[in-house]
């Protein structure tokens, strides 16, 4: 058992919980199910462990690139960070001015359809999962409907990694 690092009075109690993953950087709530949480019965302090964080970010990227709507600015930033690229590097790869990329990321300017498809393909290339099928079947039909203001995403941890929860 581990003592509470906050009050040092009691042992932390382990349980599984559903939590909001605010650190995702995405503009909508990301809820994670079956996440290990340790809680202090004395002071209520919680310690959350995100299992397989890389797998979670991979699953989030798949969700974002497969969404049949226009990308939001924070999603563009999330995808760039997943690629591990600086803003200057992604701007150079996409053939745009870094100021344009900045406007995309802060939501002041929408990506054009070609730029958006190219960004999705760049991420899928890194993910190497269903890239050809997605490029052949989904990209040509992507709409540019605005995102729903009440959108949220629910992810569940399983033995096989992270997946979207029903």
Instruction: Please check whether residue 8 lies inside any domain of the structure.
Output: no
Between the alpha carbon of residue 46 and those of residues 11, 21, 29, 41, 127, the distances in Å are: 12, 14, 20, 10, 33
Domain count, the chain: 1
Instruction: Please check whether residue 3 lies inside any domain of the structure.
Output: no
Q: How many CA atoms, within 13 angstroms, populate the side-chain half-sphere of residue 115?
A: 20
Instruction: Please check whether residue 80 lies inside any domain of the structure.
Output: yes
Instruction: Please check whether residue 2 lies inside any domain of the structure.
Output: no
pLDDT given at position 64: 95
Instruction: Please check whether residue 5 lies inside any domain of the structure.
Output: no
pLDDT given at position 148: 65
Tell me how crowded residue 105 is: count the other CB atoms within 10 A of its CB. Answer: 22
Rounded percentage of the chain residues whose pLDDT exceeds 90: 60
Instruction: Please check whether residue 4 lies inside any domain of the structure.
Output: no
Answer whether residue 154 shows pLDDT above 90: no
Q: Give me the mean pLDDT over the 1-9 stretch.
A: 86
Answer whether residue 136 shows pLDDT above 60: no
Tell me the pLDDT of the chain averaged across its residues. Answer: 87
Distance, CA of 2 to CA of 126 (rounded, Å): 39
Instruction: Please check whether residue 42 lies inside any domain of the structure.
Output: yes
Where residue 22 falls among pLDDT bands split at 50, 70, 90?
very high
Where residue 138 falls among pLDDT bands split at 50, 70, 90?
low
Answer whether residue 102 shows pLDDT above 90: yes
Give the residue with greater pLDDT, 7 vs 142. Answer: 7
Distance, CA of 22 to CA of 20 (rounded, Å): 6
Instruction: Please check whether residue 7 lies inside any domain of the structure.
Output: no
Tell me how crowded residue 116 is: count the other CB atoms within 10 A of its CB. Answer: 19
Domain that residue 32 falls in: 13-164
Nearest to 10 by CA among 45, 35, 37, 36: 45
């Amino acid at each position: 058992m581990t003592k509470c690092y906050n009050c040092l009075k009691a042992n932390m109690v382990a349980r599984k919980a559903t939590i909001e993953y605010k650190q995702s950087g995405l503009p909508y709530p990301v809820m994670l199910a079956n996440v290990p949480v340790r809680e202090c019965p004395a002071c209520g302090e919680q310690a959350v462990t995100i299992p397989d964080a890389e797998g979670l970010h991979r699953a989030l990227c798949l969700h974002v690139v497969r969404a049949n709507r226009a990308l939001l600015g924070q999603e563009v930033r999330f995808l760039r960070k997943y690629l591990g690229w600086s803003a200057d590097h992604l701007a150079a790869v996409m053939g745009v001015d870094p100021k344009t990329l900045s406007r995309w990321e802060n939501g002041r300017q929408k990506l054009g359809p070609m730029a958006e498809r190219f960004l999705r393909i760049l991420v899928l290339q890194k993910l190497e999962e269903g890239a050809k099928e997605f490029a052949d079947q989904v990209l040509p039909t992507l709409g540019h409907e605005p995102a729903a203001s009440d959108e949220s995403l629910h992810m569940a941890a399983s033995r096989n990694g992270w997946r979207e929860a029903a």
